[in-house]
Amino acid sequence: MLQYQPDASVAERAGRQEEEARQIEAKLANLSEDELNAILRDSTQAEGERFAALGRLFVPLHQQAIEVRHKLYQLLYDLIDDPELSIARVAIGHCPREYNSCLAKLRQLLNASDLDRSALAADSLANIRDDQMASVLHGWLHDADRGRRSAAIQALASMETQEARQALADEYEQGGRSEEDKLWLAMKLLEMGDSRASDFLESVAMRAQGNSSVNAATSMYHHAPADGLRLYRHILNDGDNATQHSLVLSISELQHFPHAYTAAGRDEALAWIDAELAQVS
């Protein structure tokens, strides 16, 4: 077993980001709704401040009466085309698709030159099984562009229909275009309850090498917790430092290990795994 030594630069970067987030929150803490709105709508402001302002506006408005929520819906509609992808992502994902104006704007984005925005719009529309999406995604699935194909795989999984599952299964049975492509298909099939790719996912996780192993183990964990936890433990015992650290940080996103960026983070992850296994085994 390799001695676990997390990358110090990752911890330093995370520390800077946390300190910046604290400073932004302190700056916005006492601002009014109008002041937050002004920051959010000003594209010359720093992305971090605009995103934090959106977060502070989104939660209270979402909890208000319907007439107040309309303000939120208009705000989200206006932000779909925002130059910052992080802000546009929230707007695309939460703009109410029962509103014809939002629906029309999302459909327009399917033809955008910006693949990230097209992919977000496709996934949002797939979630409501929009009438146009089946044919669009079928075309994307067989597109030569790898990014568009990956977006189609994600959106088809979001549709959760038998036809969508069969389309992904057919692609998987043909072996995918690459191992990365096959892994993405396998993960999405398992997400849809199709376990035909479980053996492949386990084999990738057992390599304990790279983010692909972490992603495969996580996919297995969500489908079969005990199996996934044992794969997690294998990676932490036999993976290289980078892969171990990637897994520790991945688990810590939900479990909030206090020492995720130090050598103790691995021990915290192993203790969590053993505790979880005791409950599910």
Asked whether the beta carbons of 53 and 28 are under 8 A apart, the reply is: yes
Residue 147 amino acid letter: G
Do 64 and 142 reside in the same domain of the chain? no
119 assigned to some structural domain: yes
Tell me the pLDDT tens digit for each residue of 216-272.
999 999 999 999 999 999 999 999 999 999 999 999 999 999 988 888 999 999 999
Residues ≥6 apart with Cβ < 8 Å to 82: 43, 88, 91
Q: Which residue range is the domain that position 28 belongs to?
A: 21-96
Q: Residue 115: helix, strand or coil by DSSP? A: helix
1 pLDDT higher than 60: no
Do 185 and 203 reside in the same domain of the chain? no
Give residue for tokens 């605009």.
50
Tell me the pLDDT tens digit for each residue of 186-213.
999 999 999 999 999 999 999 999 999 9
C-alpha separations of 168 from 116, 139, 157, 160 in Å: 21, 13, 8, 11
Q: pTM here?
A: 0.89
7 assigned to some structural domain: no
Cα distance between residue 164 and residue 170, in whole Å? 10
Asked whether the beta carbons of 41 and 70 are under 8 A apart, the reply is: no
Q: What local confidence, expressed as pLDDT, does residue 8 receive?
A: 78
Q: How many domains does the chain have?
A: 3
Tell me the pLDDT tens digit for each residue of 79-95.
999 999 999 999 999 98
188 assigned to some structural domain: yes
